[in-house]
Amino acid sequence: MFMKNDFFGKDVISVNDYSREDLELLFSRTNEMKKLVEERGGDERLKRKMMAALFYEPSSRTFSSFISAMQRLGGGIIPLNGMTNTSVAKGETLEDTARVFSAYVDVLVIRHSQAGSLATAAKYCSKPIINAGEGATGEHPTQAFIDLFTIKKIFGRIEGLHFLIIGDLAHYRPTNSLMMALTNFKNITLTLATPKQVPIQDYVRKFLKVSKISFSETSEFDKLLPEVDVLYVTRVKKEYMSESLYREIQGSYIVNNSLVKKMKKKSLIMHCLPRIDEIDKEVDDDPRSVYFRDQLQNGLYVRMALLDLVLNKD
């Protein structure tokens, strides 16, 4: 079936710019990339295309998987993991930096500390910008794409599943994107469990309410574990809060074997990493834990698919 490529030549800033059909196209291309890597390691479809990775904040997975994705498809890279040795240190603005790099490359992958900054930068940039994580309160759309692909691959569907997302949801951009992207799918139940000091962002709550997805907020979640299909655990984002708040909430929720044994045999335990201590290491070998397996590995395939769709029309 022919599917229109709405990613071609466009910025990837928010999950809210994508329909269910767009996500299906991305998943279908991701399956092709998985097969390509497994069988041949990659190909040359992005030969003579260039990607700049401009990371104003630390990253291991997003940075490295985008670099690997571009190179596995034959493209070139300008990899800047940290901007301290660039003219940003002299005071150059994000808008000017984006404009400069757009002269050298075909796509810019940017992680930045300020929510909303990439949409502004995109106005000054002649090449597509991909949001690689934006601010304490913004989005991380490519992580949500990875999470949705992983769930669909394992369950064969996303519709009808019960998601329990726990932890610091005030500062967690991957789950901001995931929650909003879930509104594309029918009969989702979404339960959010947070310490009361770090509830979801108001804009996300408003979006969920308008979309009429079934969601609820609580601080207790143990009793729900036997019902959930996907348990998504988040890190307390120390870098975005005061030391005193961190001390108050760190360790509020620790997922260990005594908790996960209450979950269904067919369910998933997800975390987009890095993990500190919110999932006990004893859970890592549970067959339902996908954070060091499918969820991590799919990051490469989804980002290959996304670069291909953004840079190639067909």
Shortest distance, position 63 Cβ to ligand CP, whole Å? 6
Near ligand CP by CB under 6 A: residue from 42, 75, 128, 133? 133
Distance spanning both ends of the chain, measured CA to CA: 13
Per CB under 6 A, the segment of 9-17, 46-54, 58-66, 95-103 that binds ligand CP is 58-66
Residue 62 found at the interface with ligand CP (CB under 6 A) = yes
Q: Which is nearer to ligand CP, 74 or 79 (CB)?
A: 79
Q: Which two tokens stand for residue 268?
A: 């998933």
- Binding of ligand CP at residue 61 (CB under 6 A)? yes
Smallest separation (angstroms) from ligand CP to the CB of 283: 18
- Sign of the torsion angle spanned by Cα atoms 27, 29, 35, 40: negative
Angstrom distance (rounded) from CA 272 to CA 183: 20
**Residue closest to 264 by CA, chosen among 224, 221, 227, 295:** 227
3-state secondary structure 236-250: CCHHHCCHHHHHHHC
At residue 264, what are phi and psi to the nearest 5 degrees? -65, 155
Nearer to ligand CP, 175 or 194 (CB): 175
CB of 222 to ligand CP, least distance (A): 26
Site for ligand CP in 141-170 (CB under 6 A): 143
Q: Which helix (H) or strand (E) holds 54?
A: strand 50-55
Residue 60 makes contact with ligand CP by CB under 6 A: yes
Specify the stretch interacting with ligand CP by CB under 6 A; choose among 61-69, 83-91, 158-166, 223-231: 61-69
Query: In this chain, which of 151, 272, 305, 311 binds ligand CP, going by CB under 6 A?
Result: 272
- Tell me: does residue 19 bind ligand CP (CB under 6 A): no
Cβ nearer to ligand CP, comparing 133 with 167: 133
Separation CA 204–CA 52 (nearest Å):
30
Secondary element (H or E) of residue 28: helix 20-40
Q: Is 273 among the residues that bind ligand CP (CB under 6 A)?
A: yes
Contacts of 123 (CB under 8 A, 6+ apart): 95
Both tokens assigned to 197: 């000091």
Q: Segment contacting ligand CP (CB under 6 A): 40-48, 54-62, 232-240, 243-251?
A: 54-62
Residue number, 172 or 215, with CB nearest to ligand CP: 172
Q: Which two tokens stand for residue 145?
A: 């794409």
Quote the least distance from Cβ 54 to ligand CP, whole Å: 14
Please state the closest distance from residue 168 (CB atom) to ligand CP, in A. Answer: 14
Residue 59 in contact with ligand CP, rule: CB under 6 A = yes
Closest CA to 191 of 221, 168, 167, 156: 221
**Count of residues engaged in binding ligand CP, rule: CB under 6 A:** 9
| Structure token pair of residue 3 | 């599917």
Bridge partners, residue 54, by sequence = 80, 110
Tell me which residues touch ligand CP (CB under 6 A): 59-63, 133, 143, 272-273
